[in-house]
Structure 1
Amino acid sequence: MRKPQLNLLQLITALVVIISFINPTNIFAQSRGTVAGKVVTSKGEVADNVSIGLVGTSYGSSTNNAGEFSFKAPAGNYTLIISYVGVQPVEVPVTVNAGQTTAVPQITIKASLSQLNEVNVIANRANRFTRKISVDAAKIPLANLENAQSYSTVTSELLREQQVFNVEDAIRNANGIQKMWDATNRAGDGGGYFTLRGFVTQTRLRNGIAGLVTSGIDAVNIEKLEVIKGPSGTLFGSVVASYGGLINRVTKKPFETFAAEIGHSVGSYDLSRTTLDLNTPLGSNVAFRLNTAYNYEGSFQNYGKSRSFAAMPSLSIKANDKLSFLVEAELYYGRNAAKPFFFFYNTPAQMGITDVSQLNIDYKNAYSNDNVTSYARSSNYYAEAKYKFSDKITSQTVFSNTHSFSNGPSPYYYLITDETAVALDPSKPNLPGNNNYIFRNDQSTANSKFAATEIQENLNGDFNIGGMRHRFVVGLDFQRQNSRQIYYGNQYGIVPINDPTFDYGSFNKQLVDATVAANPLTNANTYPYIYRTNTYSAYASDVINLTETLIASLGVRVDSYQNKGSYLLDGTQSAKPFNQTGFSPKFGLIYQPVKDQVSLFANYQNGFSNPGLFTNASNESVIAKLQNANQAEAGVKLSLFDGKLSSTLSYYRIKVNNLLRSVAGLPYYAQVQDGTQVSKGFEAELIANPIPSVNIVGGFAYNDSKYTGGDASIIGYRPNTAGSPYLANFYASYRLPGSALKGLGLGLGGNYVSKNKIINSATEGTFSLPAYTILNSNLFYEKSKYRFGLAVNNLGNKKYYTGYTTINPQRLRQVVLSANYKF
């Protein structure tokens, strides 16, 4: 059967059809008037990006950079309200007259600008699973309909309702992204692995700047997650971004009144979790906030447990009306047993298999004792200074420092044929059938360290020049990476893959410690990643309102990458230093046939990376060319029915050149740089509030990714890192309307993931992880001071696997009960 194909012409045709059915006169023609006014702080500062609306409705807007707002609403008498955490709401009675503008007297809010980060959107509170404005996606405060790039947002309200405790699980609410690996807890690895638009990415960005984490990332300090789609080298460089996009976590910020919330959760597999969110003023214009969580959890398998502690203190200081500071830290500590990873020692073609059902893996067997654990810690320190030269120009100076450390074993298992088992261990019988054994291995880290420092200066402006509005950023960026990652491996023999009489728990701490002691670290048995790099960058981006409904954007980056060389364990240089310069442009265009409600957008985006040195077919060490990814994308963004329906539909095509590949017949370390990959697809996202008590989040993504250049054995094949071609996500929430049970609600959602080819070539064969659908549900009762929640994850107790090049069993059904209390 031929796979469905999408092209740009089909997409544009579909958009024209959609828009032709949207008659602005019919949709918005009601007896309406306009509400307009201005908002300032208690100190007379202009309050921009503040949400304001009418009580009991979804009508409202946000203030612009002059603190002004304007929106339409049906005629009638209302109360206009602004509310934010811990502060008495400001309420103003208004009367809306059809066909007229009601001028509201200037509204003063009892807070400073630093507190406005904690604004609760009352006007759009009904559609609580969306955010209108992003500061980090374009490094310019832009509404979604003004940004020519696609991105998805997962809000803290959604995470709270679903009782999601970590970023890896939270990502299931964003469309077009798929988890591949859980966090390995190894220094420098950067947390969990995902695939986005056909390319691997990680959670490497925090508040728009580098913030690597070794372990799984606790969601206790997450205000929202932004999944920014496509290559984004122009604004974010090559260090933290992937060709498919990047994940930015936006953290909670301090505010200037006292508030505290404590929570505790218990659940299946011995889950026990305690959280605290404490905020307090420390005198005039100074506020402190602490988010912290302790988490313990066992496993659905016979062995496995994890303990983690996260603490995120932050301090905001407003020196005066122009200068403010923000200091934050993320501290993670964990000790975890390894989750089983199954790799292929023999190829699927050699083993005569094509999917998991042909293997005899015991789904509930961890294959190693849970006292085989590794220790990991990560610390991120972040400091920001903002200076407001005028209402038109603002300076942001940011410093970020990241450290990660890991020490200990990380078991994994090779799938092998019986013939290989006998060759490796002649005592093993060649049993009837095949593939009866696994080869136990371990890749440990030995006091591995990874550090990254970033210093960034952004100058933001907002000017009207020649009748056109310019919103721009000019930035300088310096990034340093200092790596001393030490990997070493040991082998622990051939064992049966599924024998109820075998003691799999004998692969324990005592065995590992004895094996490590018998094999001291040397250059010969370690795999060191000891290097230092510096990257110096300059970039600029401008968003230009050519007319009220036509917006153009353009940007460029120059990147100077300096690799200081690589070294062995004893300090011997293993690779020489080298320098490279990269250039990354971007362009975007938006047309709004219905202003602030319908945006047609298109973009060209670029991403790049520095592969470094490689050994060519002549056994020479040479500097690899820059790899470049170029994306063309077009689509439509909608914000209809006063924000009740938000949607993005897009088609993209990404081409990557200069990929490195191995060469058959040469040593495994020899490579050539002639690979090409093309990834194209369609994405659709919907966030809706069809009636006041119902909220819906949904998404669909199709990705067609292929090698188009390189070895003949892979041309035309889907890369084994591209994930599943079809993804879908859905969540619906219902809250009882005003009644004796007000505050009671329930939700149901899930994810569909199609078949995932984790091995895929003409020579190795094709091996697929099966498609799956996972359902999750929750029930909650929430009042102003307390909240109770019950969640059931993997409602159908489905056995399913993730992985790329690997087979990773995932958690079965889990029931979680939570209670929170606010002071």
Structure 2
Amino acid sequence: MKRLQPYTFYLFTAILVLFTFINPTHLYAQKAKGTVTGKVVTAKNEPADNVSIGLEGTGYGTITKSNGEFSFRAPAGSYKLVISYVGVDHVEVPVVVKAGETVTVPAITVNASLSQLTEVNVIANRANRFTSKVSTDVGKIPLDNLENAQSYTTITNELIKEQQIFTVDEALRNSPGIQKLWDATGRAGDGGGYFTLRGFVTQALVRNGVAGLVTNSIDAVNVEKIEVIKGPSATLFGSTLTSFGGLINRVTKKPYETFGLEIGETVGSYNLNRTTVDLNTPLGSKVAFRLNAAYNYEGSFQNNGMSRTYAVAPSLSIKANDRLSFLFDAEMFYGRGSAKPFFFFYSTPKDLGVTNANQLKIDYNQAYSNDDVTSYSRSLNYFAQAKYKISDKFTSQTVFSSSNSFSNGPSPYYYLITDEIAMGAPYNAPDLPGQGNYILRNDQSTANSKLGAIEIQENINGDFNIGSVRNRFVFGLDFQRQNSHQIYLDHQYGYAPINDPNFDYGNFNKQLVDAMDPGTPFPYIYKTNTYSTYLSDVVNLTDRLIASVGLRVDRFENKGTYNVDGTQSGKPYSQTAFSPKFGLIYQPIKEALSLFANFQNGFQNTQVFIGENNQPVTPKIQNATQIEGGVKAELFNGKLNGTLSYYRINLTNVIRNVPGSNVFKVQDGTQQSKGFEAEIIATPVSAVNIIAGFSYNDSKYTKAGANVQGLRPNTAGSPYLANVYISYRLPQSLIKGLGVGVGGNYASNNKIINSVSEGTFELPSYTLLNASVYLDRPKYRLGLSGNNLTDKHYYTGYTTINPQRLRQFVLSASYKL
């Protein structure tokens, strides 16, 4: 293993020191416990199902059962039992816990609709406001983190708001082990941001546990929390929405029963101008409506470039009766913007004589095109959900999701080339010393491209005992359809110097693009259907030992691929996949420390390829298996939360080139990705909250062509990643609601080209520093944040070099009713 980089070493050492103090003596020194029981009801005396409730300033609590009842253990002492959430009147109930005894509190009434309480995990006033104990989506069963044998990270709305983050892409900087590779391009089908997770590329394609495709940067105005679910997860989520490294699930805001309004305005560097609204209103005794919307305009840190987006997310909840409720919601994203510069290699790094981005002659502040070269994008997502309470032990959830993306317009990008290739170009500059003095200007337009996706899902959840053994299970049926009519057009606009202050880069403009002949289209026209069934059961074998098992059967049907004129270019085919999942939890300290292990599976249906005999080959299913083990902790009354894990993922049936050919392929390759992840969320002293993460990933081709055998894939990202954020909110006795936060991210060198023939090319390591200060009062909020405070020049990319935003200051204000 390589020596740790300095920044990573310091963070990793701090984590180890922190856990050194967590020895058995400290763990078992916790106070003797008693039991707290009670019931939560709505204002209409309806049982409040699946509500999180806990002791103020601690991590002790639970979620209510379907009849509204709850029971949990906690150390002896005097506390306040608290439920607190937007739109819900703050409820506090004094309670005294006595060791070895059970205390029953009177029924707790909350001023909220049953729909809100069942759809959103109401979070008690925890020791750390950046934690979220319970997830209903990760396992498709309501589970506490300590009961779930899978690793995942939750990014809460409280953290997003405090850091003044406006997109899901930006919020992911708070999760260990995930790294942005590409900025969103807005192209239909594939235009969302690209990330690497555990060595594999993934996108944010999941919303509330089902398909919710957005092909641009996802505005966070409607986000309640983000869950980064680690490792192959096809058993519960299928292959269409996940990668072998995991998936990104965004949980959205839901309507509630009382009136609420928050209006916000933000300004900042690069002409940032943002307006938001969050309106909620009851529409009678059983109906509530909520609208979240945002307008966002931002220029570029470069001399040209702009992005204008609109996000509108209405939602409607209806309670038909005591057993049946409905939720209807939509997300509508519209955008027009100019492309951020992407630099590809036309000539290899070997030919250019470079191994690192710092050796290139790119002008960091140059956009290389006029900002009137823009494209239009649109993502429309519609959702409907029906929940039916079959009995006290069983519920039914039926979900319909429709996602539609559209894009039209140019997307400029640039090739790095040798001077020899550029000779004779329209631009006749004198010969310059060295190589890489020119770029080839291109764009890949989308021509009224569309991608539609439909998902229909039925889940039956149960929570029952067989003897003394508790079972929590889900049985699901899932249908997904994708209908693609994506059309791409490739154009070249000639050579230009890569760094010449006298050259008019603005002549790459709308007039030039509009005058270009459309050329030959490159279509991605196809239809696929996927029929699935899955089952997962979480079994409490004892009060400390929990086992889980799951299986998915997946039938994939590719209806063939087609040319623009309707002629068939690829034959239809079908495949059947089986995806098992196993997990084991043991709690040496009940409800405080879990040792976990899992076996998880992922698979993907790949495209037909040309085999060694020059004939189309129907591909086999690519299959990934993960073995993972680690520890999860919620210690010292919830003041120390964390996950440490080691994983190994083996991928089979990788398609690779036949030796000596770039056309013919064979599907017998293998790949391995293994690594370590650590996440700490701590409150060492009152009013201080800390988030810290570290990850190391070792990926390599274990069976591949001689060109890449044993090398790290160029899609795996940086081997070492680290993140930290420290927040301090002044005690209420001073200036109530005043807080400050500081944090940053570190990424080691990233090999975006890594082969024998082309050479190795790295994006340099980088360290970013961010900070924020805010005043959060009941009726208003003021905030000032700074991003990339050191004005660091840094790049992201895979196979590409993408300059990233320089220092930015953001000032926001909101008014709340």
Q: State the partner residue of 2:140.
A: 139
Find the aligned partners of 1:804 and 1:233 in 2 and give their Cα distance. 25
Question: Which residue of structure 2 lines up, in the alignment, with residue 338 of structure 1?
Answer: 339
Distance in 2, Cα, partners of 1:302 & 1:664: 45
Does structure 1 residue 635 correspond to structure 2 residue 630? yes
Q: Is the 8 A contact 2:711 2:754 kept in 1?
A: yes
Shift of 1:644: 1.5
> CA-to-partner distance for each residue in 1:363-392, whole Å, 9 max, x for gaps?
000000000000000000010000000111
Counterpart in the other structure of 1:69: 71
Judge conservation of contact 1:190–1:212 (CA < 8 Å) in 2: no
Measured in 2, the distance between the counterparts of 1:586 and 1:416 equals 48
Equivalent residue letter for 2:298: E
Per-residue CA deviations over 1:453-477 (Å, capped at 9, x if unaligned) read 0000011111101321111111111
Summarize the alignment of residues 388-467 of structure 1 with structure 2, pairs less than 5 Å apart. Answer: 388-422=389-423, 430-467=431-468
Matched, 1:606 2:601: yes
Query: Distance between the aligned counterparts of 2:778 and 2:22, measured in 1?
Result: 45
Q: Aligned partner of 2:601: which letter?
A: N
Contact 2:338 2:371 in 1 (8 A): yes
Instruction: Please identify, of 732-741 and 626-635, the stretch whose mean Cα deviation from structure 2 is larger.
Output: 732-741
Structure 1 contact 210–240 (Cα < 8 Å) conserved: yes
Confirm or deny: 8 A CA contact 1:58 1:644 kept in the other structure: yes
Q: Residue 202 of structure 1 aligns with which residue?
A: 203
Residue 186 of structure 1 contacts residue 376 of structure 1 at CA under 8 Å; is this kept in 2? yes
For the Cα contact (< 8 Å) 2:672–2:700, is it kept in 1?
yes
Give the letter aligned to residue 341 of structure 1: F
Matched-pair contact (CA < 8 Å) for 1:468–1:545: yes
2:8 counterpart residue number: none
Identity of aligned residues (%): 66
Judged with a 3 Å threshold, the aligned counterparts in structure 2 of structure 1 residues 413 and 287 are, in CA distance, closer, same or farther, namely same
The yes-or-no answer on 1:543 pairing with 2:538 is yes
Alignment match, 2:548: 553
Matches of 1:453 and 1:669 in 2, distance apart? 34
Q: Using the alignment, how far apart are the partners of 1:694 and 1:575 within structure 2?
A: 59
Deviation at 1:81, TM superposition (A): 3.4
What are the within-5 Å matches in structure 2 for residues 360-759 of structure 1?
360-422=361-423, 430-515=431-516, 519-521=517-519, 525-663=520-658, 665-666=660-661, 668-759=662-753
TM-score by length of 1: 0.95
Query: Could you tell me which residue of structure 2 aligns to residue 10 of structure 1?
Result: none
**Secondary structure of residue in 2 paired with 1:600:** strand
Gaps of 5+ in 1: 6-13
Which ranges in structure 2 are unaligned for 5 or more consecutive residues?
Answer: 6-15
Counterpart of 1:75, as a letter, is G
Residues of 1 paired with 2:54 and 2:143: CA distance?
Answer: 20
Structure 1 residue identity aligned to 2:589:
V
Q: Which residue of 1 aligns with 2:11?
A: none
Distance (Å, rounded) in 2 between the aligned partners of 1:470 and 1:59: 22
Residue 432 of structure 1 and its aligned partner are, at CA, apart by 2.7
Q: Which amino acid aligns with 1:579?
A: S
Query: What residue in structure 2 maps to residue 299 of structure 1?
Result: 300
CA shift at 1:690, angstroms?
1.8
SS of the counterpart of 1:28? Answer: coil
Provide, for residues 612-642 of structure 1, a one-character-per-residue CA deviation record: whole Å limited to 9, x for no partner: 2111132211111110001000000001112
* Per-residue deviation, 1:115: 2.2
The number of aligned residues is 804
For each residue in 1:283-330, what CA deviation from the matched residue of structure 2 results, as whole angstroms up to 9, or x when unmatched?
111000000000000000000001000000000001001000001100
- Give the residue type in structure 1 aligned to 2:234: G
TM-superposition CA deviations, 1:205-234 (whole Å, max 9, x none): 000001110110000000000000000011
- C-alpha distance in structure 1 between counterparts of 2:752 and 2:271, whole Å: 32
Report how far residue 738 of structure 1 moved: 1.9
| Distance in 1, Cα, partners of 2:144 & 2:606 | 35
* Corresponding letter in the other structure for 1:252: K
* 2:265 counterpart residue number: 264
**For the Cα contact (< 8 Å) 1:60–1:123, is it kept in 2?**
no
1:164 aligns with 165
What is the aligned partner in structure 2 of residue 794 from structure 1? 788
Q: Is the 8 A contact 2:62 2:70 kept in 1?
A: no
Q: Which residue of 1 aligns with 2:312?
A: 311
Q: Within 1, Cα distance between the matches of 2:95 and 2:655? A: 65
SS in 2 for 1:89: strand
Deviations 1:537-559 (Å, cap 9, x if unpaired)?
Answer: 11111111111111111111111
Cα distance change on mapping 1:51 and 1:300 into 2, 3 Å: same
Label 1:136 to 1:57 Cα distance change in 2 as closer, same or farther (>3 A). closer
CA positional deviation for 1:433: 1.7
**Are 1:675 and 1:710, in contact at CA under 8 Å, matched by a contact in 2?**
yes
Name 2:279's counterpart in structure 1. Answer: 278
Compute the displacement of 1:34 (Å): 4.1
Cα distance in structure 2, aligned partners of 1:298 and 1:95: 56
Shift of 1:252: 0.3
Deviation at 1:780, TM superposition (A): 0.3
- Mapped to 1, the partners of 2:586 and 2:725 lie a distance apart of 30
SS at match of 2:513: helix
The amino acid across from 2:570 in the alignment is A
Q: Does the 8 Å contact 2:58/2:637 carry over to 1? A: no
- Measure the CA separation in 2 of the matches of 1:591 and 1:388: 31
Cα deviation, residue 431, structure 1: 3.4
Cα displacement (A) at 1:84: 3.4
Instruction: Find 2:815's aligned residue among 793, 796, 821.
Output: 821
Which is worse superposed, 680-689 or 52-61? Answer: 52-61
Cα deviations by residue, 1:519-570 (Å, 9 ceiling, x for unpaired):
245xxx2110000000111111111111111111111111111011111111
* 1:179-201 CA distance string (max 9 Å, x none): 00011100001510000000000
Identify the range of structure 1 (32-41 vs 745-754) with the bigger mean alpha-carbon deviation: 32-41
Residue aligned with 1:571, SS = coil
Given candidates 736, 757, 767, the residue that maps to 1:763 is 757
**Partners of 2:792 and 2:578 in 1: CA distance:** 47
TM-score normalised by L of structure 2: 0.95
Distance 2:111 2:333 in 1: 35
Amino acid of the residue matched to residue 182 of structure 2?
W
Aligned residue number for residue 155 of structure 1: 156
SS of 1:807 mapped into structure 2: strand
Deviation at 1:579, TM superposition (A): 0.8
Following TM superposition, by how much is the alpha carbon of 1:51 offset from its aligned partner in structure 2, in angstroms? 3.1
1:470 is aligned with what amino acid?
A: N
- Post-superposition Cα deviations, 1:1-23, rounded to whole Å, max 9, x if no partner, equal 85689xxxxxxxx99x9698233
Cα deviations by residue, 1:82-125 (Å, 9 ceiling, x for unpaired)? 3333333334343444554322123333433212145653431x
Change (3 A) 1:655 1:93: closer
CA deviation profile, 1:466-517 (whole Å, cap 9, x unmatched): 32111111111100000000001110001100000000001000000011xx
Check conservation: 1:60, 1:642, Cα contact below 8 A: no
- Give the distance between the partners of 1:54 and 1:442, measured in 2 at CA: 57
Structure 1 segment 88-127 matched on structure 2, within 5 A: 88-97=89-98, 99-116=100-117, 117=119, 120-124=122-126, 126-127=127-128
Structure 1 residues 500 and 716 mapped into 2: Cα distance closer, same or farther (>3 Å)? Answer: same
Specify the code of the residue in structure 1 equivalent to 2:657.
S
Change (3 A) 1:134 1:57: closer
